[in-house]
Structure 1
Amino acid sequence: MSFEVIVIGGNFAGLSAAMQLARARRRVLLVDAGAPRNRFSQASHGFLGQDGQTPAAIMREGKRQLSLYPTVAIRDGKVIQAVADGGEFAVRMDDGGEERAARIVLATGISDTLPEIPGLRERWGRSVLHCPYCHGYEVSGGALGVLATLPLSSHAALLLPDWGETTYFTQALFEPDNDQLTQMTARSVRIERSPIVELLGDNPKLEAVRLADGRVVPLDAVFVAAKTAMASPIAEQLGCAFDDGPLGPVIRTGDNKETTVKGVFAAGDAANAMHNATLASASGVLAGVHCHQSLVMQTAQQAVLPRTFRRQI
């Protein structure tokens, strides 16, 4: 076995996990398909020490630093299959190659499913945004909208007035209840019940939205909670359990980031209900640290077992 750990995914979570293992001098393979969820964003914000850097630049520097460790290999490619095999894991890549390791860290990420509204998809990550903490400051002072996609959208509408004048678009589907309406009124949130049918402006800039009743409402940015799905089938292939998150499935992990499959750890958006660059990186650190400790404890227990067996004889 040439590697002790295979980390699948090279975004913030995967790089952070691999770094901990590299510094523990473990043999690590990082496999990165090169299609991170944040590839549509111009900059990463709120990430201490990296505020304003492009996600691509952060990942590029992370890989450069990781490559300085002699026990690390980095491979560009997509993992298409992973199976448990004789106390190890066999991982097959799209180029036909196969590697084996005692542990796997899944940092496979998630994919976003956006509402089918003309002009929305091409502005994703620019003027159509998912997180006010990540992007609110850059559009502050403007006319902001929340496009409701689920009941939780009302929570975003309560937050956004700290960044700008806010309109909550119910899409004729997610009407606020009496308590929510009272709270929105207290926060000066405007309620618009006619659905958005088109986004207008010189892409990627947003200037206004067209409503189903024909009106045009000026907007500088719109926030939308996209429904999410696993970006990779690997966790399901391995038999990992999932929980229902607010936006989609989440890989179930314990506090140590180990999944329900022994030896498989998970980090990042695929294993976090809350999605944020710092949280993804932090969960990667936890996964890497606990993955290393599981290797240590396995070796220690194997050393103890023969002595215990001899005492029993």
Structure 2
Amino acid sequence: MQDVIVIGGSYAGMAAALQLLRARRKVLVIDAGQRRNRFVSASHGFLGQDGVDPARIWAEARAQLRAYPTLSWVEATAAEVSGAKDDFRVTTTTGEQFAGRRLLLATGVSDELPEIEGLAARWGKGVFHCPYCHGYELDQGRIGVIATGPMSIHQAQLLPEWGEITFLTNDRFSPDADQRADLARRGVTLEETPIARLTGLADVELADGRILPFAGLFTATRTSPASPVAAALGCALSETIFGLQIQTGDSKETSIPGVYACGDVARAPHTVSLAVGDGAWAGAQLHRSLVWPDG
């Protein structure tokens, strides 16, 4: 019987596990190795790790966790979860079953990308979602913002901090008069011709044949939990401007007693720094729930 089973061993899950391991609690991490930022070669904005390959950050963090004797780590995907507080059972896709007093869902999210030819192949290389993570490296060059809906206006308004912006509405959004005036004040160029495809690193070929070269592109994805486990458990989900996420209270406990959630799947906005902080808090709250189970 584990004290806590952590489903998802990326940044938030490991940050939570670290707090519990340092309290000498038995922790099992079940991880399939599908980090959300696996497409990028460098992580930015994370204090002490700025510009470091995220795969290296992850590997070094896991090595540090493995120094604690109460850690168990299973490379697998959680397929089914059953039971209740103090007696949960997790079954993996390989048929292994594990028992734990508490569950922590740190599964991360999946990004629903715009259906534009060539975009998926450039995700994390020439196309991004977070300017704080990738804007600086574009060196104040030409940046395109690809609209996916009404919320994209905020990306177009924010990104002039990082370069010369063209807002590509792509038939997904039409700014009103006030928004057009605001974009003009910010020096944003409005391009309303639909996008045919992406070429090069971050060049946009429009439906009329014009090609607009950019140093990089930004777009707002829609996110949803990367694993169906939360929904299967009956955890309450909520709709945010970024997409679907697991509802939690201040202690990071979900609507199901004994089940907690942290990281991108349970908070917004999303960065590595915020995921690590959220995980550390969740780990401490999980420990408190074991010390004061009726508190």
- Find out whether 1:274 has 2:269 as its counterpart: yes
Residue correspondences, number: 295
CA deviations on 1:248-293 (whole Å, 9 max, x unpaired) are 1110000111111111110011101211111111110111010110
Task: Name the larger-Rg structure.
Answer: 1
Letter in 1 for 2:43: S
For 2:250, which of 241, 247, 255 is the aligned residue? 255
Structure 1 partner of 2:230: 235
Letter in 1 for 2:41: Q
- Find out whether 1:115 has 2:110 as its counterpart: no
Letter in 1 for 2:91: R
Q: Secondary structure at the residue paired with 2:248?
A: coil
- TM norm structure 2: 0.97
Letter in 2 for 1:247: F
**CA distance in 2 between partners of 1:273 and 1:144 (Å):** 24
Q: Secondary structure at the residue paired with 1:81?
A: strand
Structure 2 partner of 1:58: 57
By how many angstroms is 1:86 displaced? 7.3
Letter in 2 for 1:34: G
CA contact (8 A) 1:83 1:237 kept: no
Percent identity at matched positions?
A: 49
CA contact (8 A) 1:200 1:209 kept: yes
Q: Secondary structure at the residue paired with 1:247?
A: coil
Change (3 A) 1:232 1:87: same
Change (3 A) 1:284 1:86: closer
**Structure 1 gap ranges (5+):** 302-313
**CA distance in 1 between partners of 2:137 and 2:85 (Å):** 51
- TM norm structure 1: 0.92
**CA distance in 2 between partners of 1:286 and 1:183 (Å):** 39
Instruction: Supply the RMSD in Å over aligned alpha carbons.
Output: 1.2
**CA distance in 2 between partners of 1:9 and 1:50 (Å):** 21
Q: Secondary structure at the residue paired with 1:25?
A: coil
CA contact (8 A) 1:84 1:238 kept: no
For 2:207, which of 212, 228, 234 is the aligned residue? 212
**CA distance in 1 between partners of 2:144 and 2:32 (Å):** 34
CA deviations on 1:220-263 (whole Å, 9 max, x unpaired) are 21101111121101111111001101121110000111111111
Structure 1 partner of 2:7: 8
Q: Secondary structure at the residue paired with 1:83?
A: strand
Structure 1 partner of 2:289: 294
Structure 2 partner of 1:95: 94
Q: Secondary structure at the residue paired with 1:270?
A: helix
**CA distance in 2 between partners of 1:267 and 1:188 (Å):** 38
Matches within 5 A, 1:144-163: 144-163=143-162
Letter in 1 for 2:62: K
By how many angstroms is 1:151 displaced? 0.8
**CA distance in 1 between partners of 2:263 and 2:84 (Å):** 26
Bigger mean CA offset, 84-93 vs 238-247: 84-93
Structure 1 partner of 2:104: 105
Structure 2 partner of 1:72: 71
Letter in 1 for 2:206: L
CA deviations on 1:129-169 (whole Å, 9 max, x unpaired) are 01000000011221100000021111111111111110001
Letter in 2 for 1:229: S
CA contact (8 A) 2:12 2:276 kept: yes
Structure 1 partner of 2:46: 47
